[in-house]
Amino acid sequence: MRWSVKETLAALALAVASLLAIWALLLPPQGEIDQSVLFSIAQFLVFSATLLGVDGAMDRMKALLRNKDREGRDKEGSDDKQTHDK
């Protein structure tokens, strides 16, 4: 399987974020990571997720949840009408 440029960059960004986190944990004082390093890790992870299309997947998931919520409200509304008709 051949990776596209986007997938390669995403994998590279994920690897850099992971290595940066491990490296930061090993530097003195051990176990503490500076805020600037955490920010850099977050940026690499967001970049990787963006390249992989996580943003688009989240939009689709939100749309599905909205549709289910609307269907649930429509069903509740029809149940209320049936109750009032009796």
pLDDT tens-place string over residues 25-70: 888 888 888 899 999 999 999 988 888 887 667 778 888 888 888 8
Q: Which two tokens stand for residue 60?
A: 């689709």
pLDDT tens-place string over residues 60-70: 888 888 888 88
d(CA 21, CA 44): 11
Q: Where are the domains of the chain?
A: 1-52, 53-86
d(CA 58, CA 49): 11
